[in-house]
């Protein structure tokens, strides 16, 4: 029996009216039977074309490669961003580049809490209205921004700059734990809130800080963990659901917190 002939419609013919810089070319790999040599299946392979040798300028290619270094940015997105900048006026592109350079050169870290700041003391630590007796310990600057958006915390922060992770070679000496101990040692802090990720590394860091501050007259607490607002019980994992049961709160307190 003669093998069936397969007519393939190429992407180039199908999209002949589209002008694209990056595309995919479809190729077919034939799989033969080792006994009688008859084609038993066809496997389609997509090969990316137009990415390696399609740049009309080396400067354009270098710019695309630099944008592609950013997290979450691929070559296609990087090319789209670079082409967008090329269409802008030179003044706007210069302002964009100068803003990035100025951020990298002039931005600093708060000498107290290690948060990103424009000055030696960040705006949070310099705020006299803040409750200076409560310090919230976070992993990095992103957590500070996330907690500030809630509008529920009016104390100060302490950014560790990471969490203990032996696999990644990060130990306690690589974090801002000693500076936290110095702040507690001053006697101005009455409570330390540990707001780290609910992971093995986060719990390890929590326990290390707890043991480090155990000898000082300071209250050490951890943020509540449980079922998120809007989630259904049946989709919660066992650990999260178990912690929700153990860390249950009186209904009056939860009702008051939601009614604020």
Match 């137009």 to its residue by tokens: 50
> How do the domains of the chain map onto residue ranges?
11-104, 116-223
| Res. 109: pLDDT tops 90 | yes
Match 């500070």 to its residue by tokens: 144
pLDDT digits (tens, 9 = 90+) for 137-164: 999 999 999 999 988 899 999 999 999 9
pLDDT digits (tens, 9 = 90+) for 206-230: 999 999 999 999 999 988 887 777 7
CATH number listed for the domain at residues 116-223? 3.40.1360.10
Q: Do domains 11-104 and 116-223 have the same CATH topology?
A: no
Q: Which CATH architecture has domain 11-104?
A: Orthogonal Bundle (1.10)
pLDDT reported for residue 150: 85
The predicted model scores a pTM of: 0.69
Give the list of residues 6+ apart from residue 213 with CB closer than 8 angstroms, or none: 180, 181, 184, 192, 220
Among 14-28, 64-78, 79-93, whose mean pLDDT is lowest? 14-28
Where residue 108 falls (left for φ over 0; alpha for ψ -120 to 50; beta otherwise) is beta
pLDDT digits (tens, 9 = 90+) for 60-78: 999 999 999 999 999 999 9
DSSP one-letter string for 150-185: HT---EEEEE-SS--BGGGTB-GGGTTHHHHHHHHH
In this structure, are residues 196 and 202 in contact, taking their beta carbons and an 8 Å threshold? yes
| DSSP classification of residue 72 | T
pLDDT digits (tens, 9 = 90+) for 32-52: 665 555 555 555 554 444 445
Band (253; pLDDT cuts 50, 70, 90): low
């Amino acid at each position: 029996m003669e093998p069936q002939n397969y007519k393939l419609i190429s992407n180039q013919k199908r999209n002949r009216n589209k002008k694209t810089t990056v595309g995919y070319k479809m190729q077919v790999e034939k799989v033969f039977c080792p006994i009688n040599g008859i084609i038993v299946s066809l496997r389609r392979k997509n090969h990316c074309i137009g990415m390696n040798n399609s740049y009309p300028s080396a400067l354009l290619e270098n710019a695309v490669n630099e944008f592609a270094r950013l997290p979450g940015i691929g070559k296609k997105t990087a090319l789209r961003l670079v082409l967008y900048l090329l269409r802008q006026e030179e003044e706007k592109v210069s302002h964009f580049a100068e803003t990035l350079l100025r951020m990298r050169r002039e931005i600093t870290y708060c000498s107290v809490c290690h948060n990103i700041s424009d000055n030696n003391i960040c705006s949070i630590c310099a705020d006299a209205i803040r409750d200076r007796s409560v310090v919230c310990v976070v992993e990095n600057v992103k957590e500070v921004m996330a907690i500030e958006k809630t509008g529920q915390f009016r104390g100060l922060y302490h950014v560790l700059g990471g969490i203990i992770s032996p696999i990644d070679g990060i130990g306690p000496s690589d974090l801002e734990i000693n500076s936290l101990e110095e702040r507690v040692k001053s006697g101005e802090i009455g409570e330390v809130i540990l707001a780290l990720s609910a992971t093995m590394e986060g719990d390890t860091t929590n326990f290390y800080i707890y043991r480090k501050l155990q000898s000082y007259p300071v209250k050490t607490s951890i943020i509540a963990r449980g079922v998120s607002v809007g989630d259904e019980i049946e989709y919660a994992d066992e650990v999260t659901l178990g912690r929700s049961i153990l860390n249950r709160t009186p209904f009056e307190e939860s009702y008051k917190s939601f009614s604020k």
